[in-house]
Amino acid sequence: MKRSLGFFGDFAYHNHPDNYEINIPNKWNWFLMQSKQLFIRMQDPMHICTKLRNRLVSKTMTIVFSDQLINIQPLYYVIDNFCKLDHGLVQSDVNPKDRQNYGSCEKITNDKVLKLLETIPNSLGISIYLKVSTVNNSTSDTALFDLIRLKINN
């Protein structure tokens, strides 16, 4: 796959007539893909959601969004300070032993949790991060993408 994306040389079908032409903005220096592709590989939404959750709960990774440090402390705050009926979370959802448990991903990204996070100071970063991980359920949430675009451009 790395070779087909152009990481380690030219792909044999680089000038194939059926290639997709992808207009990648010049500012996207983090987007590592050639502008002409014969095929595009994508992970399934469940895998992406669990991967994002695992990065969030990782003890070795720090995630920063604009001026917000994204960590799991606001989720612990929700568990400790709100009734379980309000959010449905338990400690094992935030600190999972099973790293492929999609059910815990659904729980930490449900609307009830996201609404509670809006009431907690310094939780904007994790709120946006969790909304991004739920894009697999609905790609029509343009307000989220507008908010992210505003943060990136500022």
Predicted confidence at residue 77, as pLDDT, reads 94
Confidence of residue 96 (pLDDT cuts 50, 70, 90): confident
Confidence of residue 150 (pLDDT cuts 50, 70, 90): low
Mean pLDDT of 81-99: 88
Expressed in angstroms, the distance from the first to the final Cα of the chain is 34
Domain boundary assignment for the chain: 1-41, 45-153
In sequence order, what are the beta bridge partners of 21?
36
C-alpha closest to that of 34 among 50, 11, 56: 11
Mean pLDDT of 77-105: 88
Instruction: Decide: pTM greater than 0.95.
Output: no
**CA–CA gap between residue 36 and residue 79 (Å, rounded):** 47
Structure token digits, residue 40: 């595009």
pLDDT, tens digit, 9 for 90 and up, residues 7-46: 556 666 667 777 777 777 888 777 666 777 766 666 677 7
Listed range (22-36, 92-106, 121-135) with the worst mean pLDDT: 22-36
- With tokens 């492929």, the residue in question is 100
Q: Answer whether 1's CB lies under 8 Å from 32's CB.
A: no
Mean pLDDT of 98-119: 88
